[in-house]
Amino acid sequence: MKLKSFKTISIVAVIYLILFEFIFPSNIFFPSVTVIWLSIIELFEQYNFAQSLRSTITAVYLTFFIHYFITKIFFPFIIKYESGSFYISLKKNFLQFFFYTPFILLALIIILWFPDFIFSKYIVALVFLSSLCLNELNLPNDKSLSEYFHFYTTIGIKKSKIVNKIIFTLKEPELFQTYLKIHPLIWTVILLVEFLQKKDGIGSILKIVFKYQDVALTFTVMIITSLILFLLHLGFRKLYNRIYFWS
Amino acid sequence: MILTLSNITKSIPISAGINKKVIDNFSIKFDFQNSNFISIVAPFGSGKSTLLKIISGLLTVDSGKIIVNGENYTESGKTFIYLPTNSISIPWLSVEENIRFETKKDALPEDKVKLIISLIGLEGYEKHIPHKNSYGFRFRISLGRALVTNPDLILLDEPFNIIDSVTKEEIFQVLKNVSRETGIKFLLATSNILDAMLISDEIIILPKLKDEVKDSIKLVGKFSSYNEIITSEDLISVIKIIQSHTNENSGFQLKEFSV
């Protein structure tokens, strides 16, 4: 984090502290810092927040891992058939359909189908993620990639090796960038499914909190979740720069 | 080596059910016995890349034959490597790793790697990973990887378009050095007259629709820099030759070439 960002955040925090701790301590919108602190303790002691957080984070990032490996496995087939009429039709008429389906409906259907299934949230997130990443691996317009094919074919390297060892890695930074852009969205999807399913994760805590209309706890969950997401995002960006230094 | 393309026709699909004929019953002979570098000079969008891809075996022809020293290309045992327009070195690998990419240790001894690196002028940079926009550097790496396969002919498909002229002059010296040391021949497709003059022993001028060779110019004087070309009489004579073929039916205009 840059010093300037740190300064800005600190100033906002101080203003918040002054406003809601001393000037408007009892309002129904923004809890005071003391209330937030007490809510944090309550979350960890009574709601088992640490375990819920672990469950949600696992669901979000395991979904990305699963998506990455599925993409890696199917990448040679995507390349082989992407210009074919069947794949284009499948992509345009079926897979694209999920992009326009409000994910809450999809989530509801899957939860109604499998109410106690622990992996429901993974399925919803994976379908949602796949529809968002659908156009990320488009190759026909990528002239430089076809040139890799041409060169390495003439020097006698097998197509499968060119695809797996060069082309996929060349596309990885784009995929990772998309993941970076949309991981807050996947958090929302997972939280929503957990909220609806009320089995585990931060979403299930929110369900209880929502039932009692506890603004302070909801606010605290929001702050903690946003902070974690923000820090994770910074970490992933650093990781991206380290892994894909060449892109 | 004599490479002959005999009555080549090639159509390329441009949309569903519609094909465009980019090469029409075209014949040409590249005589590499006295030339190490031959350049095909043709306007933009005239199918130069298609022609090189056909020669390298990346594209099949609708009709016609590719003959090398009197034999079919596939039976000739010759190796042709296609070097495309964009830099195709693997950006996350170092110079040495790129050259060794997908080669067996026994098949590529240390001495050969060192020789290749010295031929492409990258001694001391073995562990270096070039920036993705170092096009000249990355071109040398691709050339180095191509040399591993001991090719007979390297087809250069306008790889110098995005390289500045100073770097190009250096690269042309590298190519000339490679050719002198290894005997490898080069066929360059370009729309840039100066590039062709700087590197070639022979320039072949082709029209937009490849149906006949417009002219073939043997360059007697060798140039080592763009400055020499610009101040030479040869540039004017080459431009005059191109201009002499420019008429309503020629399929190209002088402005369609670059310098």
- Separation in Å, CA of A231 to nearest CA in chain B: 27
Both tokens of residue B19? 């094909």
**Chain B CA closest to residue A168:** B90
Residue B42 token pair:
């043709």
| Gyration radius (Cα) of chain A, Å | 22
Question: Looking up tokens 């022609």, which residue turns up?
Answer: B51
Residue B79: the pLDDT is: 93
Kindly list the residues from chain A whose CB atom is less than 8 angstroms away from the CB atom of residue B80: 154
Q: Give the residue, A132 or B257, on which the prediction is more confident.
A: A132
Residue B170 to residue B173: CA distance in whole angstroms: 5
ipTM of the complex: 0.89
pLDDT level of residue A137 (50, 70, 90 thresholds): low
- Count CB-CB contacts under 10 A for residue B100: 18
Distance from CA of A245 to the nearest CA of B (A): 8
* CA distance from start to end of chain B: 30
Look at residue B174 and tell me whether its pLDDT is greater than 90: yes
Bridge-partner residues for B203, per DSSP? B39, B217
Q: In whole numbers, what is the pLDDT of chain A averaged over residues?
A: 88
**Phi and psi torsions of B24, nearest 5°:** -125, 105
Judged against a pLDDT cut of 70, whether residue B249 lies above it is answered with no
Measured in angstroms, the CA of A91 and the nearest CA of chain B are apart by 18
What are the CA-CA distances from residue B113 to residues A138, A161, B108, B122 (Å)?
36, 22, 7, 11
- On whether any CB of chain A is under 8 Å from the CB of B57, the answer is yes
Min Cα distance B157 → chain A (Å) is 10
Q: In terms of pLDDT, which residue wins out, A172 or B161?
A: A172
β-pair type (B2-15, B18-31): antiparallel
Model pTM above 0.90: no
Contacts of residue B114, defined as CB under 8 A and 6 or more positions apart, other chains included, come to none
What residues of chain B lie within 8 A of the CB of A245, using their CB?
92
CA distance A149 to A162: 7
CA angle B30, B214, B198 (to 5 degrees): 60
Q: Please indicate whether, in this complex, the C-beta atoms of B88 and A165 are within 8 angstroms of each other.
A: no
CA-wise closest residue to B61 among B71, B69, B73, B70: B73
- Contact yes or no for B84 and A161 at CB 8 A: no
* B132 at A interface, C-beta within 8 A: yes
For residue B134, the chain A residue with the least C-alpha distance is: A246
pLDDT digits (tens, 9 = 90+) for B80-127: 999 998 888 999 999 999 999 999 877 789 999 999 999 999 999 999
Residue of A nearest to B90 (CA): A166
pLDDT mean over A71-84: 79
Instruction: In whole angstroms, give the CA distance from residue B156 to residue B36.
Output: 13
Burial label for B167, CB within 10 Å (0-12, 13-18, 19+), is middle
Q: Report the C-alpha gap between A177 and A146 in whole angstroms.
A: 22
Of A21-30, B111-120, B207-216, B227-236, the range with the lowest mean pLDDT is: B207-216
Assigned token pair, B182? 């290894």
CA distance linking residue B167 with residue B159, whole number of Å: 12
State CA A137 to chain mean position distance. Answer: 18
A150 with B90: Cβ contact below 8 A: no
Of B56, B88, B102, the CB nearest to A148: B88
For chain B, give the mean pLDDT: 86
